[in-house]
Chain A
Amino acid sequence: ILNVEQSPQSLHVQEGDSTNFTCSFPSSNFYALHWYRWETAKSPEALFVMTLNGDEKKKGRISATLNTKEGYSYLYIKGSQPEDSATYLCAFYSNFNKFYFGSGTKLNVKP
Chain B
Amino acid sequence: ETGVTQTPRHLVMGMTNKKSLKCEQHLGHNAMYWYKQSAKKPLELMFVYSLEERVENNSVPSRFSPECPNSSHLFLHLHTLQPEDSALYLCASSLAGGAYEQYFGPGTRLTVT
Write the chain A residue with the least CB distance to B100: A49
**The 7 A-B residue pairs with the shortest CB-CB distance in the complex, in nearest-first order:** A93-B98, A46-B101, A43-B104, A101-B43, A44-B104, A101-B42, A32-B98
Check B74 for interface membership: any CB of A closer than 8 A: no
A103 CB contacts on chain B under 8 angstroms: 41-42
Q: Is the interface of B mostly helix, strand, loop or mixed?
A: loop
In the complex where A32-B98, A97-B48, A99-B98 touch, is A46 in contact with B103 (Cβ < 8 A)? yes
A49 CB contacts on chain B under 8 angstroms: 99-101
Residues of A35-70 contacting chain B, CB below 8 A:
36, 42-46, 48-49, 51
B48 touches A43 (CB 8 A): no
Residues of A15-37 contacting chain B, CB below 8 A:
31-32, 34, 36
Q: Looking at the assembled complex, report how far the CB atom of A34 sits from the nearest CB atom of chain B, in whole angstroms.
A: 7
A51 touches B104 (CB 8 A): no
A36 CB contacts on chain B under 8 angstroms: 102, 104
- The interface on chain B, measured as residues whose beta carbon lies within 8 A of the other chain's beta carbons, has a size of 24
If A45-B2, A97-B55, A101-B43 are given as contacts, then 14 extra A-B residue pairs at C-beta distance below 8 Å, sorted by A number, are A31-B98, A31-B99, A32-B98, A34-B101, A34-B102, A36-B102, A43-B104, A45-B104, A48-B101, A97-B48, A99-B98, A101-B44, A101-B45, A102-B42
Q: Is the interface of A mostly helix, strand, loop or mixed?
A: strand
Residues of B83-113 contacting chain A, CB below 8 A:
90, 92, 98-107
B99 CB contacts on chain A under 8 angstroms: 31-32, 49, 51, 93
Check B32 for interface membership: any CB of A closer than 8 A: no
Residues of B41-80 contacting chain A, CB below 8 A:
41-45, 48, 55-56, 58
B98 CB contacts on chain A under 8 angstroms: 31-32, 93-94, 97, 99
